[in-house]
Structure formats: C-alpha cells, structure tokens
Amino acid sequence: MDIKILPEVEKTLQKQGPVVALESTLITHGFPYPENLAIARESEAAIRKEGATPATIAIINGTLCVGLLDEGLEALSKPRNDILKATTRDLPLAIAQKRTAGTTVAATMVIAAMAGIKIFATGGIGGVHRGVAETWDISADLTELARTPLAVVCSGAKSLLDLPKTLETLETLGVPVIGYGTDEFPAFYSRTSGLKIDARVNTPEEAAAILKSHQALGAQNGLLFCNPLSEAEALPADEMEKHIRAGVIEAAKQGISGKTATPFLLKYIVAATGGRTIQPNKALIRANAALAAKIAVAFSKT
Ligand code: PSU
Ligand code: MN
C-alpha cells in the first residue's frame, strides 16, 4: 500500500512540530467549484499563519496522500464524477482500484493517525441523522472518533443532523466534547444549539493540556474541540431550521439516502438560502483551521 507524506509534513512530524490534518470531502463533495478550491487554500494558509504545517489528506489514484501540493488541491476541486467520497469502509476499495477520493472526517482520521498526526480541523463532523429511527443513518465519523486517537477541531456537528442524539452518542463512545470559549454544542452555521456541554476551555494552551492528558491515559479514541462561528458570521438558528426541515423532507421524497444524504442536504441548503450559507461555512472552516494550528503549536511546546 502506498502512503505518500509530503516532505514538509514529514520533516515537521520528525521534530514533533505542529501539523494539522485537513479533510478533502468538503473539497470534492461539500462545496461547488471554485469555492471549494478557495477554502482548501485558505485553510492551509490559516494554518501556516499560526506557524503550523497543513496536511490535506486525500486519495489520489489509490495512493494515500498526507499533504498535497497546490496542483493536488486543484485536481480534487475540479468537477469530475469519478471522484469517490471515501469513508472508512471505502479505503480498501479506493486503494486496490487506484481510485481518487475525497476523505471524510472518518477516513481522514484513519490516514492522519497512520502518519502520526495528532490534530485535525474540519467544518462539522457527521453524526446521527434526523429520522434515524427509520433510516438508521449514523455517520462513520462517530465510529472513528470512538477508536482513533486524534483531536478534531470543528464547529460541532452539521445542524442538518439530530444534534441531541449526536451528542448523546459521543458520550456513549467516551469521546470528550470540549467547548472552545462556549458552554454549548455549536450548531455549525449558528452559534447555539441549546445543548449544554460541560467541558470548556478558553485558550489553546488549556486545549493542548487536555490533549496531553488524553494521551497520558493511553486513550485510543478521539476528542472534539467545538469552536462556534463568530457572532458576525453566524446565521440565525430558527431560519436555518426552516430550510433544514424542508431539505430533510425533500431528501425523503426523492429517496436520497446513505452516503449521498449529506451532500444532497448541503446543496439543498445552499440553494434554499440563495448561497448565504457559503460564506459562513467557509469562515468556520478557516477559523477551525487556525484554532487547530494554535492548539498544535501549544501542544508541540508541552
Ligand atoms: N461538513 C461540511 N461539508 C462536508 C462535510 C462536513 O460542511 O462536506 C463532510 C465531512 O467530510 C464529513 C462527511 O465527514 O460530510 C459526513 O458524511 P456522512 O454523513 O455521509 O458520514
Ligand atoms: Mn451516513
């Protein structure tokens, strides 16, 4: 099996310097072109600005890539219908059949851990879907958080999910959920979900200290740092809720399920809001990349 770690990433890892992994499903299936390319570049730039090394993870022609050059980002962002959305279970197929794939949070965690990366930034994790009682749709992101030791910096779970059930599942799986400057589980485009979380930190150093003790325990699962979108960029939760509900009904009507459910809903919401979600979505990904880099820098000094 081929795993290709970019020399810059490898060098930083060797001296136990700060590296932040980034996922690529949001490039291949989350945003339309050219916003996807812009956000991929901006996330990397945000990480560098804080003094850490970015490592965007994807599968290119069957090779697990840890760190991409700009041409790699560009190739993934161009609309093509042969690019897979790879979660954990798709990895063997993607490798054996030399496919190109964007990796979800779950698959990115697997590959990042193989490379020895400790910290990862994304927008929102996958979780328990609304209507789970009928569909049984629970993202493999939760499964991977339960068994892969990586700190994931996110803005909570996407609000198109069932947030209370997602939060309960994280507790069952023993995944620490820590608010960064908040006492609430953020709702992705919106700052508040009404769901309390009982752990909070306010600085990258405090976050790094928790990661350190997680490791000292020999914990083999992940942990989640939840960073709410800035007040200025956030969208009103009640308005988003209207669109999300309509999207969930539309998905059911069209028989959309399984791995196409999340991309369908994201696209639906972009269309329903006349594209108003794109800027906040980009802003939260950039902010999470920057915060992950700050935590990685603080962690490298511990
Ligand atoms: N959040 C976004 N855009 C995305 C995703 C999350 O704003 O594209 C992706 C992530 O890669 C996440 C995946 O891991 O959706 C979850 O998909 P599913 O629900 O099928 O497990
Ligand atoms: Mn699913």
| Residues of the chain scoring pLDDT < 70 | none
Alpha carbon of residue 253 to chain centroid: 28
Residues 6+ apart with CB under 8 A from 115: 3, 5, 9, 13, 21, 55, 66
Residue 23 known to be catalytic = yes
Task: Write the pLDDT tens digit of every residue in 181-198.
Answer: 999 999 998 988 999 998
Residue to probe by mutation, ligand 1, list 90, 122, 259, most atoms within 8 Å of CB: 122
CB distance 159 to ligand 1 below 6 Å: no
- 127 CA closest ligand 1 atom index: 19
What pLDDT, on the 0 to 100 scale, is given for residue 198? 85
| Active-site hit among 85, 118, 158, 282 | 158
Q: Is 25 in the pocket of ligand 1 (CB under 6 A)?
A: yes
pLDDT of 67 reads 98
- The question of whether 71 is a catalytic residue gets the answer no
Per domain, the residue ranges of the chain are: 3-300
pLDDT in the model for residue 38: 97
DSSP structure string for 102-157: EE-HHHHHHHHHHHT--EEE-S-B--BBTTHHHH--B-HHHHHHTTS--EEEESBB
If you measure from the C-alpha of residue 126 to the centroid of ligand 2, how many angstroms do you get, rounded to a whole number?
A: 8
Contacts of 63 (CB under 8 A, 6+ apart): 2, 3, 4
- Is the pTM for the entire model greater than 0.85? yes
Task: Using the mean position of ligand 1's atoms as its centre, give its distance from the Cα of residue 148 in Å.
Answer: 18
Establish whether residue 109 lines the binding site of ligand 1, counting it when its CB lies within 6 angstroms of any ligand atom.
no
Q: Provide the pLDDT for residue 176.
A: 96
**Per-residue buried b or exposed e for 43-76, using 16+ beta carbons within 10 Å of the residue's own CB:** bbebbeebebbbbbbbbbebebbbbbeeebbbbb
Q: How far is CA 225 from CA 65, 97, 150, 175, 229, in A?
A: 25, 35, 11, 10, 13
Q: What are the C-alpha distances in Å from 88 to residues 74, 147, 171, 252? A: 24, 12, 21, 25
CATH number of 3-300: 3.40.1790.10
